[in-house]
């Protein structure tokens, strides 16, 4: 009975975090319209959240290994609920939203990985796969509820309600976790030790990398090379010190396990493509195809619903045959969805999109459960918090790459394509018209909201050149996702070689 109480208590927050993820992605078009945000500002709504998670996953994992996984999980719940309340009541501009999303990301970093560990720990050894599968099922339910619920809220109410939903559910999770989750056994060493210098270089290296990604199209060559040098130097110093000090932030020796290292790299590549899909497709459905928020949510349900349905079966499958085959099958399914999305057009049957989303959902449900189980199986119990923290850190870095590179490709290539079309047709446009045209071509603004700006042009002509420019850049983006996914397939084949290193 205890294991089911833990699953329910902690699972509420897993559902919450995933519900919030899909709702916020669905709300990007609305927030962009309400605050007249650029594509870079829109992507920062997502990136600030991922940045906080990437920076602090390992730190919270380290804290959890010492102060207790339950205690740090509860701290994360509080941060997530408090920031959600701020977003729902007080956030008044795009910058306050980005800041609050960073705090929300801190809460996410302190809860998601530990939630999985708490649930898996509560189940017996022969049901670990089932436990991780049930955790992913809750993720799938949250993802599944997000699009239709978010679409309904955005269609009928203010966007603030998508954040206020987190408050009562988060408080319920906190109360039930306090009641049912058992505290960790106290360690004999009561002092918390972490190497300050290596931790500082970890934050410097990762933060520099993140900022480079988000401003790469604005930097000069010298600035870019300088930033890359600083990021690499910081990471090298961090790794070197982590191998030679007694209390590193991350137990780098975990990476000596070849299977664990391969799994986290595969997960990073998968999350790159997944984040790209979740960032681009809602903008495509709403701003290019013209679907409403509620209709977009219902079509995205074809993806998230399949995750919820498949996840428990995958957990049992992992218990039976292991994690390796499900990992490679999941990436092959991801490759198939990439092949579908690379054929998207300005006019296309939504059933075609729904098919690609459903296959992607099957891929995600299979991949998440199998990689988590595979990663945890490679480490000892005392290193589980740090290991899962590193697992999710690398995954968040992949997600940031996916969002930032997607935004960069959509913005840069659509800009180039639309300028070529303007020059070919010998058009003269004012600075305001160019600004609006670029924002429609990269998908950050709807094609239907700016007729008054182009009163001297036929409306269908403006829509034609902007939608063609968006599709031009979208195809190149999906080609990149296809290449990344194929790299994941090649890496997954290495899992079938025997691993002689154990932790």
Are 411 and 40 spatial neighbours (Cβ–Cβ below 8 Å)?
Answer: yes
- 174 within domain boundaries: yes
CA distances (Å), 484 to each of 8, 268, 302, 471, in order?
A: 36, 10, 24, 20
User: For residue 223, what are the domain limits?
Assistant: 195-248
What pLDDT does 368 receive? 80
Q: Which helix (DSSP H) or strand (DSSP E) does residue 270 occupy?
A: helix 258-283
Count how many Cα atoms sit within 13 Å of the Cα of residue 154 in the half-sphere of its side chain: 29
Same domain, 122 and 270: yes
| CATH number for the domain harbouring residue 333 | 1.20.1250.20
Same domain, 167 and 231: no
What pLDDT does 106 receive? 93
- 501 within domain boundaries: no
The torsion of the CA quartet 81, 300, 264, 337, rounded to 10 degrees, works out to: -170
What pLDDT does 450 receive? 65
What pLDDT does 502 receive? 47
Same domain, 202 and 305: no
Same domain, 77 and 170: yes
Tokens 């990269």 belong to residue:
442
What pLDDT does 489 receive? 95
Same domain, 118 and 256: yes
Are 411 and 42 spatial neighbours (Cβ–Cβ below 8 Å)?
Answer: no
39 CB-near residues (< 8 Å, 6+ apart): 407, 410, 411, 439, 442, 443, 444
DSSP-assigned states of every residue in 65-127: HHH-HHHHHHHHHHHHHHHHHHHHHT--SHHHHHHHHHHHHHHHHHHHHHHHHHHHHHS-GGG
Same domain, 323 and 365: yes
SS3 410: helix
Same domain, 322 and 237: no
C-alpha span between 162 and 164 (Å, rounded)? 6
C-alpha span between 366 and 327 (Å, rounded)? 7
The torsion of the CA quartet 82, 53, 362, 289, rounded to 10 degrees, works out to: 70
SS3 192: coil
- 502 within domain boundaries: no
What does pTM read for this prediction? 0.82
Same domain, 298 and 377: yes
Tokens 């520099």 belong to residue:
208
- 430 within domain boundaries: yes
The one-character DSSP state at 191 is S
Q: How far apart are the first and last CA of the chain?
A: 32
For residue 73, give the nearest of 394, 503, 388 by alpha carbon.
388
For residue 369, give the nearest of 297, 281, 309, 280 by alpha carbon.
309
Same domain, 253 and 129: yes
C-alpha span between 427 and 43 (Å, rounded)? 30
For residue 48, give the nearest of 109, 104, 110, 114 by alpha carbon.
104
Within 123-256, residue ranges assigned H as helices are: 128-156, 161-164, 166-180, 196-215, 221-244
Number of domains in the chain: 3
Q: Which two tokens stand for residue 364?
A: 């995600």
SS3 187: coil
C-alpha span between 160 and 392 (Å, rounded)? 28
For residue 443, give the nearest of 411, 479, 420 by alpha carbon.
411
For residue 369, give the nearest of 126, 120, 1 by alpha carbon.
120
What pLDDT does 382 receive? 67
What pLDDT does 328 receive? 93
Backbone angles phi, psi at 437, to 5 degrees: -60, -45
Same domain, 241 and 253: no
Are 268 and 429 spatial neighbours (Cβ–Cβ below 8 Å)?
Answer: no
- 41 within domain boundaries: yes
Same domain, 346 and 492: yes
Are 439 and 414 spatial neighbours (Cβ–Cβ below 8 Å)?
Answer: no
From first to last of its 503 residues, the chain has per-residue pLDDT tens of: 778 888 888 988 888 887 877 788 888 888 888 888 888 788 889 888 888 888 888 888 778 878 888 999 999 999 999 999 999 999 989 999 999 999 999 998 899 778 888 888 888 777 776 777 677 677 767 766 777 888 888 888 888 999 998 999 899 999 999 988 888 776 555 567 778 888 889 889 888 887 887 777 778 889 889 999 999 999 899 889 888 887 787 777 788 888 999 999 999 999 999 989 988 988 888 888 888 878 887 777 777 667 666 666 776 777 778 888 999 999 999 999 999 999 998 888 878 888 898 898 888 878 887 888 888 888 776 666 667 778 888 888 898 889 888 988 998 899 899 888 888 877 777 787 888 888 888 888 887 766 667 777 776 777 888 888 999 999 999 999 999 999 999 999 999 876 554 45
Tokens 């932030």 belong to residue:
249
Same domain, 278 and 170: yes
Q: Which two tokens stand for residue 270?
A: 């998968």
Q: Which two tokens stand for residue 347?
A: 């006019």
- 299 within domain boundaries: yes
| Helices 258-283 and 350-376: angle between axes, nearest 10 degrees | 160
- 253 within domain boundaries: yes
C-alpha span between 462 and 401 (Å, rounded)? 31
For residue 480, give the nearest of 210, 275, 208 by alpha carbon.
275
C-alpha span between 384 and 295 (Å, rounded)? 41
C-alpha span between 164 and 91 (Å, rounded)? 12
Q: Which two tokens stand for residue 446?
A: 């709807």
- 503 within domain boundaries: no
């Amino acid at each position: 009975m205890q294991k089911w109480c833990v699953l329910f208590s902690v699972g509420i927050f897993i559902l919450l975090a995933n519900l919030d993820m899909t709702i916020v992605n669905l709300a990007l078009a609305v927030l962009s319209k309400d605050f007249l945000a650029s594509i870079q500002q829109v992507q920062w709504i997502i990136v600030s959240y991922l940045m906080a998670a990437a920076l602090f996953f390992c730190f919270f994992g380290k804290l959890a290994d010492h102060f207790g996984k339950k205690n740090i999980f509860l701290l994360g719940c509080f941060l997530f609920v408090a920031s959600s309340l701020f977003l729902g009541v007080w956030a008044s501009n795009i910058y306050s939203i980005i800041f609050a999303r960073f705090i929300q990301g801190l809460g996410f970093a302190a809860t998601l990985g530990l939630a999985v560990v708490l649930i898996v720990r509560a189940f017996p050894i022969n049901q670990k796969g089932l436990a991780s599968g049930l955790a992913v099922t809750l993720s799938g339910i949250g993802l599944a509820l997000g699009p239709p619920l978010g679409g309904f809220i955005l269609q009928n109410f203010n966007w603030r309600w998508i954040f206020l939903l987190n408050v009562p559910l988060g408080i319920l999770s906190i109360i039930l976790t306090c009641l049912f989750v058992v505290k960790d056994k106290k360690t004999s060493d009561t002092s918390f030790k972490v190497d300050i210098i290596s931790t500082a270089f970890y934050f410097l290296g990762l933060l520099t990398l993140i900022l480079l990604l988000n401003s790469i199209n604005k930097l000069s060559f010298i600035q870019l090379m300088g930033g890359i040098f600083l990021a690499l130097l910081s990471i090298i110093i961090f790794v070197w010190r982590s191998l030679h000090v007694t209390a590193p932030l991350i137990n780098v020796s975990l990476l000596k396990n070849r299977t664990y290292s391969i799994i986290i790299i595969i997960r990073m590549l998968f999350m790159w493509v997944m984040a790209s899909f979740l960032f681009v497709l809602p903008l495509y459905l709403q701003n290019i195809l013209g679907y409403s928020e509620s209709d977009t949510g219902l079509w995205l349900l074809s993806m998230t619903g399949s995750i919820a349905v498949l996840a428990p079966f995958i957990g049992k499958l992992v218990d039976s045959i292991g994690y390796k085959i499900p990992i490679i099958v999941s990436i092959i399914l991801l490759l198939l969805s990439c092949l579908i999305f690379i054929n998207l057009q300005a006019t296309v049957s939504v059933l075609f999109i729904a098919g690609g989303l459903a296959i992607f959902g099957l891929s995600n449900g299979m991949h998440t459960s199998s990689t988590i189980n595979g990663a945890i199986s490679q480490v000892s119990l005392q290193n589980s918090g740090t290991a899962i923290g590193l697992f999710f850190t690398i995954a968040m870095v992949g997600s940031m790459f996916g969002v930032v590179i997607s935004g960069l490709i959509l913005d840069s290539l659509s800009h180039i394509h639309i300028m070529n079309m303007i020059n070919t047709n010998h058009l003269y446009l004012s600075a305001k018209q160019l600004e609006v045209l670029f924002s429609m071509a990269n998908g950050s603004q709807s094609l239907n909201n700016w007729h008054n700006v182009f009163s001297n042009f036929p409306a269908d002509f403006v829509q034609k050149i902007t939608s063609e420019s968006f599709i031009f850049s979208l195809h190149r983006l999906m080609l990149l996702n296809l290449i990344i996914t194929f790299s994941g397939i090649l890496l997954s084949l290495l899992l079938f070689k025997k691993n002689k290193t154990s932790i």
